[in-house]
A and B are shown apart, each in its own frame.
Chain A
Amino acid sequence: MSDIRLSLAEIVGEDYVSNREEEAYFYARDPGLMPAHKPDYVIVPKTTEEIQKIVRLANKDKIPIVPMGAGMALTGLIIPLKGGIVIDMKRMNKILEVNEKARYVIVEGGTSHGVLKAYLEKNYPRLRHSIPDAPATATIAANVMIHGQGRLTQQYGFNSDMVTGLEIVLPSGEICKIGSCSISKEWFSKGAPLPDLSGLFLGWFGATGIITKVALKLYPRKKMRDVEIFVTDRDDLVPDIVYELTHTEMAEDIVIFSQPKPLIFKDNHHVTIFITGDTDEELEFKRKMIWDAVDKFIKTKDGGFMWVQPAMKPTLLEMPQRSVSRFADVKKGGGFEYSGPIILVEKYPECSRKVEELSSKYDLGYSGMARIIGRGHCMMYGFAFTFNRADPDMMDRVRKALHEVSDYVLEIGGVFWKATVDEQRLAIERMDPNTRNLMKMIKNNLDPQGIMNPGNWEVN
């Protein structure tokens, strides 16, 4: 095995490869609850060519490869289940091009959302991207790979829908361009009007290739941003409220949460609506449209806009929101994990009751959080539980609660988001056989040796 370390060192240099115990310890886990498994090597390449060489080496010796962004998915997607090489993409963090008028950006595969946000704010203040509420170190490539969502998801869909081109290192080591960039120097479309091949890679968690470049749509960044919170005590009305709000097409983002603590949030559902504008008039117009859209619920006393204290606004308007991290420490010990299935908005009441039921059954702190995707086309509903990492019993109870969520999600017609390996297995079992066969064909053709993030999407 030391020959492999030497070979890897020849590719990236001694400083960027390791098989030391202390590094293996950290790369064996993510911040979630999945069991750790150590890699044999960790490597931090700088270029696409280096990745090609690593992949070819791994292919030759049938060594598993796990590409890794910031490792923030919480569901164990970057845990090297069969050992091998973890490829940490963080050094590939350059912003390669911004096409201002066509509103897209091309970045390297390890570029973080925080870096892009800061870059755009400084250099292109009229442009923004759909930043997720993950820590700012989360990478753009990994986020689109897991079909992440962000601040513009209610308007434009999954962040992966905003991809306009990919450069992939295939399991064979070849470089493949996806989208308009395959026949043009411009990266304006990931598919149309060509056959859309991005689906061979997006959502596969690196099991079919490694993203080394990604192009992403950018959107107008308005000068002003504000937030309103519509509160109701009737979970059954939330889908109707969302329907009315999305009909206005005035909201930037719509997020719903319910949680028992602090007391201000107890017993209610909070539909958080973000609005933007370049002028006071634009902002106020949108606000009025939003308020009027749900006026019928105010008149029946079924819901109303809460008084958002000025002190609360910076927290709510922050991108990404750090309040998620604060939730992780409710039980002290910094543990937090959620299952976030993609599901119809009409399932909100059931999901909300389920998270409460599980919290009570397993004596856990919880938060239910939904992000609307598209104009109410579906939502991500997060069954989130907080735990103390120093309390193995509490961690076990969270695991059990999340396991129940997995079964429940399938029962009510949902689809796992960034599924754990167990959830992937459940999904594969339930999947239409012809779809499963198609996935099998894709996987076997692209990665015949099964070296790419093995354990994930094991259709065979």
Chain B
Amino acid sequence: MYQLQFDENLCNTCPTGDCLVKCQYMDLDKNEAIAEMVKISKGEDSFVLHDCVTCYGCEEYCKRGNYPFYLITERRQEKGILTTPRAITKQWINIGQPRGKFKTGGIKKKVLSFGFMPELLQLTRGRLFDDVMPSYVFGQEFFCNVVYIHFANTAIIKERLPVVIDNFRKLGVEEVVCMHDECYGAFASLAPAYGMEVPFRPIHYFEYLYNRLKELSKKIRPLNVKVAYQRPCSSRLSSDKHRFVADIMQLIGVGLVERTYQNENALCCGDILGMLTGYDLRYDVQRRNIDDMVEYGAEYCVFNCSACQNALATKVAKRGIKPIHIIDLCRMAIGEK
């Protein structure tokens, strides 16, 4: 069975306790943060195991290469501490169950991975993707299953992710362009954290987009708009790729508003908070987030994750901000939208 490679000593000697000190949803000082993480590491109970809202932020805040959120998830599962209601967890586990209905395009050495988000097939059109498409995979057989860390269930990931990796291996692909952060996080963060071997190179689609835009630079017409970026929770699993947001915006002549809730300080889209905790936190987080976008004069709200877009698109639109996926924004810049 796969074991999380977590180093308790790194926590014991941590100079900052950033993993929990920086948490947006709990209030801990440095000493409390370190003490609680050590307790969690030792398998003891901690209020953190009960209060964490699964924003994934601590995976980014920890600069020492440990895996605080994966550990919290492991311990929750060991202790039977539920995050979401059982019915919701069951539902999501059912949704991700492989059922032999996957689709693949003309598979090449490089392939786009859509997980099982059908809307991605609509997004990945035009010049930006014509060097890869129609090489794609879609369906539960290629779904990374990382979402189950929201549901305190690493067992299902350990069961399914190796099969997913093997499904890619059977296709003989060398590079997988992950069209969602969780997909990339699965292969670049979670699999290594559990000692799973990944026989292909995962590429974050931001990196792919950035390189592709550079190739198409002659087609770019600066958009000259101000945007707020809605950073998804799963982006915390690949925080080294977050810089591409600014790089891409610069390439296409878009100004990122310098708002309160950005980068490390970004707020969750809120939908998972509703499932976990009920109405109030979700409402409060969404309100603060959108107020912030309005206050800093964003004309567009740029989404990376379809789930965030589903959660916030209508709400930002009602406040006069146009919702748009980052791929569509890039396509606008090369005159395709």
Task: Give A contacts to B, CB under 8 Å.
Answer: 231-233, 263-269, 280, 287-288, 291-292, 295, 297-299, 301-307, 309-310
Query: In the complex, are the beta carbons of B277 and A233 less than 8 A apart?
Result: no
Interface residues of B, dominant DSSP: helix
Given contacts A233-B86, A302-B86, contact A295 B279 (CB under 8 A): yes
Query: In the complex, are the beta carbons of A298 and B97 less than 8 A apart?
Result: no
Closest residue of chain B to A296 (Cβ to Cβ) is B278
Q: How far is the CA of A307 from the CA of B97 in the complex (A)?
A: 18
Minimal beta-carbon separation of B86 from chain A (angstroms): 5
Contact of B85 among A266, A287, A301 (CB under 8 A): A301
Q: How far is the CA of A231 from the CA of B307 in the complex (A)?
A: 19
Q: Does B132 contact A (CB under 8 A)?
A: no
Contacts A/B (CB < 8 Å), 13 sampled: A231-B91, A232-B87, A265-B91, A266-B90, A267-B87, A269-B87, A287-B279, A288-B283, A291-B278, A297-B85, A304-B88, A304-B275, A306-B275
Contact of B94 among A263, A291, A297, A309 (CB under 8 A): A263
Minimal beta-carbon separation of A231 from chain B (angstroms): 4
Cβ < 8 Å to A, chain B residues 258-315: 271, 274-279, 283, 307, 310
Query: In the complex, are the beta carbons of B84 and A301 less than 8 A apart?
Result: yes
Q: How far is the CA of A96 from the CA of B104 in the complex (A)?
A: 57
Residues of B within 8 Å of A305, CB to CB, are 274-275
Contact of A231 among B82, B85, B274, B277 (CB under 8 A): B85
Given contacts A231-B88, A268-B90, contact A307 B275 (CB under 8 A): yes
When A and B form their complex, what is the total count of cross-chain residue pairs whose Cβ atoms lie within 8 Å?
69
Q: How far is the CA of A292 from the CA of B90 in the complex (A)?
A: 23
Query: In the complex, are the beta carbons of B279 and A280 less than 8 A apart?
Result: no
Query: In the complex, are the beta carbons of A306 and B279 less than 8 A apart?
Result: no
Query: In the complex, are the beta carbons of A310 and B310 less than 8 A apart?
Result: yes
Closest residue of chain B to A298 (Cβ to Cβ) is B278
Given contacts A263-B95, A264-B95, contact A288 B279 (CB under 8 A): yes
Given contacts A263-B94, A298-B277, 8 further A-B contacts (CB under 8 A): A233-B87, A265-B91, A266-B94, A297-B85, A301-B85, A304-B84, A304-B88, A309-B310
Q: How far is the CA of A305 from the CA of B278 in the complex (A)?
A: 8
Residues of B within 8 Å of A297, CB to CB, are 85
Q: How far is the CA of A266 from the CA of B95 in the complex (A)?
A: 10
Q: Does B318 contact A (CB under 8 A)?
A: yes
Q: Does B99 contact A (CB under 8 A)?
A: yes
Query: In the complex, are the beta carbons of A301 and B82 less than 8 A apart?
Result: yes
Given contacts A263-B94, A280-B318, A298-B277, contact A304 B283 (CB under 8 A): no
Number of residues from B at the complex interface, CB < 8 A: 23
Residues of A within 8 Å of B318, CB to CB, are 280
Minimal beta-carbon separation of B289 from chain A (angstroms): 16
Minimal beta-carbon separation of B173 from chain A (angstroms): 27
Residues of B within 8 Å of A268, CB to CB, are 87, 90-91
Task: Give B contacts to A, CB under 8 Å.
Answer: 82, 84-88, 90-91, 94-95, 97, 99, 271, 274-279, 283, 307, 310, 318
Q: How far is the CA of A188 from the CA of B116 in the complex (A)?
A: 54
Residues of B within 8 Å of A287, CB to CB, are 279
Q: How far is the CA of A118 from the CA of B45 in the complex (A)?
A: 60
Closest residue of chain A to B99 (Cβ to Cβ) is A263
Minimal beta-carbon separation of B326 from chain A (angstroms): 18
Minimal beta-carbon separation of B88 from chain A (angstroms): 5
Query: In the complex, are the beta carbons of B310 and A232 less than 8 A apart?
Result: no
Minimal beta-carbon separation of A60 from chain B (angstroms): 63
Residues of B within 8 Å of A288, CB to CB, are 279, 283
Given contacts A288-B283, A292-B279, A304-B275, contact A298 B94 (CB under 8 A): no
Closest residue of chain A to B318 (Cβ to Cβ) is A280
Minimal beta-carbon separation of A18 from chain B (angstroms): 48
Closest residue of chain B to A287 (Cβ to Cβ) is B279
Closest residue of chain B to A264 (Cβ to Cβ) is B95
Query: In the complex, are the beta carbons of A295 and B271 less than 8 A apart?
Result: no
Minimal beta-carbon separation of A264 from chain B (angstroms): 5
Minimal beta-carbon separation of B272 from chain A (angstroms): 8
Residues of A within 8 Å of B90, CB to CB, are 233, 266-268
Considering residues B86, B90, B275, which has the most beta carbons from chain A within 10 angstroms of its beta carbon? B86
Closest residue of chain A to B272 (Cβ to Cβ) is A307
Residues of A within 8 Å of B271, CB to CB, are 307
Q: How far is the CA of A429 from the CA of B94 in the complex (A)?
A: 46
Residues of A within 8 Å of B87, CB to CB, are 231-233, 267-269, 302-304, 306
Q: How far is the CA of A306 from the CA of B310 in the complex (A)?
A: 13
Query: In the complex, are the beta carbons of A291 and B82 less than 8 A apart?
Result: no
Residues of A within 8 Å of B310, CB to CB, are 307, 309-310
Residues of A within 8 Å of B88, CB to CB, are 231, 304, 306
Q: How far is the CA of A302 from the CA of B88 in the complex (A)?
A: 9
Q: How far is the CA of A304 from the CA of B273 in the complex (A)?
A: 11
Minimal beta-carbon separation of B285 from chain A (angstroms): 14
Residues of A within 8 Å of B274, CB to CB, are 291, 305
Residues of B within 8 Å of A298, CB to CB, are 85, 277-278
Considering residues A268, A291, A299, A301, which has the most beta carbons from chain B within 10 angstroms of its beta carbon? A301
Closest residue of chain B to A266 (Cβ to Cβ) is B94
Considering residues A280, A302, A304, which has the most beta carbons from chain B within 10 angstroms of its beta carbon? A304
Q: How far is the CA of A16 from the CA of B216 in the complex (A)?
A: 70
Minimal beta-carbon separation of B214 from chain A (angstroms): 33
Query: In the complex, are the beta carbons of B91 and A306 less than 8 A apart?
Result: yes
Closest 6 CB pairs of A and B: A304-B85, A291-B279, A233-B87, A231-B87, A263-B94, A301-B82
Minimal beta-carbon separation of A302 from chain B (angstroms): 6
Query: In the complex, are the beta carbons of B94 and A267 less than 8 A apart?
Result: yes
Q: How far is the CA of A354 from the CA of B314 in the complex (A)?
A: 41
Residues of B within 8 Å of A267, CB to CB, are 87, 90, 94
Residues of B within 8 Å of A265, CB to CB, are 91
